[in-house]
Structure 1
Amino acid sequence: MPIRREYARSLFADLTQNAPVPLDPDELLHMPGLRQLGHVFFGDIEVRCYKHKARWMYVERDIRDAAGVFAEMEVNLDDVVDVQLPPFRDILERDPEEWHRPNWRRQVASWMLDRARNQLLEQGRHYDEWGSWQDIGANGLPGELTWEEFVASSSSHRHLQNIAGTRPLQLLTWSGETWLLPRAYADLLDRWERREEEVVALARLCSSCGDQGPYWGDWRTPTTSGYVTRCPPCSGAAFQPYTGHLRGVQYEMLRRRATRADEYLCRLCKASQASAWDHCHAHGYVRGPLCGSCNVREGKATPYSFLQLEGGVLHLLECRGCLEQRTLPRRFHLDVVRAHLEQTERHGRCRQTYARELEHTHGVHRFQLECSNWHATGKWTKDVTAAEVAALVRAFVDAALAAQEGRPSPGTATGAG
């Protein structure tokens, strides 16, 4: 029978409380990789996620079966193997698809290197002073990182603790020469790599024509029963494009009419079946049908990233209220200002400036600006009043509309990045 995520998490935690492998039952709540996989992994065991009455749920039997495997698992802590962590590879050298493939050894090494790098950034040290921070020290960690600092940092970030629903740092030990894990646990993670590859390979296939999609799940579409995989041509053949015929209609009226969004293609990505009518919360007007991923991106992604999205600004202006007032939803305002400051403010001849809001008092937003070269004198502040924010947003909107019409922009803020 279907059970809610909260109950599934509680049940799994109770049944595995004495398991020899450290597990993270919260994976059942957060469901990492749901869009790409349709499952939650604990080791090499996948637990299927279902959608029932618009809620993600599990089958109780699946939870009990997965928990039973771990409760009965035997792990000899004295039978260990060298995990052979791979050397550092710069992100620019990585093949994007290869980097997304499961590789638990690379993931652990990446945690260590990222923490060593962040430690130097937090200390305010210039890049020229970092030295050989990638070199592995006598404690097996890069740079000046200690095990205590590494564990403390990892404990405050879920994504730095979990691999396949397990917590490797609780079993990882340093022999003085190499990193060790219990053999049974290392074998479990190896099996997870192979099994996740198999699950992803199946999830990449278009359910209509069988073509293979991108590794990271761009063809995955949320439906009322879960995710399905459809290539853009098959989606285009199955669903009609939205032509803006509901522009100016209030969302509440649409709800009362029960007008379906899933008959349309997503207005933003134009590749997936829509699942919801997006609307402006400030003015109440419908903006258009969006797929689940684009709808989440509009509501929860960083405003800066959404403004960078092709068609993102014009989608927001599908709201008649925003269009007539030449504005955007309030959550986007400061990112328009930040982008403007990064374009116009400079420290000497430095080519790039970074801006972030420090405080907001008495209607004035104070930003801290810093040059990309981290010069000691390359930090300053800039105050922006509410009236200036409104003017910059209006100029940004005017520029977007002018670009749509192919005419010169009248505004001073020409983009979000």
Structure 2
Amino acid sequence: MSERIMPGRTDDLITLGAADALWVDLTADSAVPTASGAFTCSPARARVGYVLLGGHAVATVRASGGQWSVPEVEVRRAAAELNAVGMDRQDLVRIGPFRGAPRQECNEETRLRWRQRITGELHELGGPERAARREVGRPYHLAGIDWRQILVEQTRDGTQRTWWLPRAVVRLLDAAEHTETQWVQAARTRQASAAVTQPTSHPRQARASDGRQTTSPEGPTASLRPYNGELEGQLYSVLSRKPGTSRRMAGWACAVCRTAPAAVLDHCHEHGYVRAPVCQSCNTQERPDHLYSNDIRVAHRYTRLFHTDTDDWLRHWHRCPGCRARTTLPLPHLAAWTAHIACRSLRPTHRAPRGRKPCGVLRVSWAGSQNAPRSCLLTVAVDFCPSGEHRVLARVPYREAAERFRVWLAETAPAVAAAAGPDRLDGLPTQFRPVIADTSGEGLALF
């Protein structure tokens, strides 16, 4: 098969317009929809030395005539990486808006800021005014991905709107932010090194043999380091106030999925201990879907928490010393486990085209507090049940739910159960203290 000839190609470089056409052509069959103008439309930053394509950064080169170009092989590599990504349109992650969420600081090292861009776009007014703004360079894409095609808007109670994206796309955009941060940091390091070695006021610009001038830095070589419990036992209220915590966290990989860069410090809201740094996707998946402060909806994502990736999530939750010592979970998670696992056999089913389908939507509420187990009662119910809305399936005391969870934990994740409990001796020294003889008295006394 002969290689396709790209217009605007010079040696191994192609113009930005040709790169746009090549990107769309190579990713036509990708599960993740892509957008034209990935190199020429905002928020692409070709003139600062790079363009983001998925989780990949493509260097840009300025030729002697002032025209910007990119290596064709880099575009093909980024397209191949994107084509290998699978996307489940049913596995969604909420990206906003979050009531009471703190406003994100504008970090100049991360120019993509895709969550802020999407939120700003969706908060704008519709109609001709918005269409006119799009014509003058409003971002259709983020890292070459056409997020508008896969954005899902849901409305709760007819008033509150929420926005969702597939989890695979969220991880791609998080990876793009991390790649850009690493790129900028590497560029600043090289500039500082060049300033030390060449302290002249007007440094000479290096040019290639054919007259091309390369303005982009090389791609970042620093890789994510795994989290090995460096923050274990620390209180979130103390650690979050220490300067430099965000910078220290930026180099870690997510402690749950171990693939995406960490973005937030996950902590136990019940005991206050830091669990581990996690990515935005895992942090959103772990967040309970509260209807009220003591009432949550048990959605399909709990299948991943308690079935698919059970061992990873149980290890993560038990990074909290309080939950590990009590061999339990925070109250919202224990309530969700009770509804999803312990009361599964009580949930009615109805006929469906492909067999039988579980009835309605599970929800669980609680009265009382886990700090007073005798007064805490979990109520598991089904909403939108044809045989009666808000049908109550079971009322389970907190102590019974915790005991059933301990039995299930020992069967499902024996290693996690073995490390839990108040009688663990992990903190004691491995060797006994030496016996010292006291010769000051008549006999030998040991102390």
Task: Name the TM tier (shorter chain).
Answer: 0.3 to 0.5
Give the alignment's TM-score, normalised by structure 1: 0.38
- Normalized per residue, the structure richer in helix is 1
Structure (1 or 2) with the larger CA radius of gyration: 2
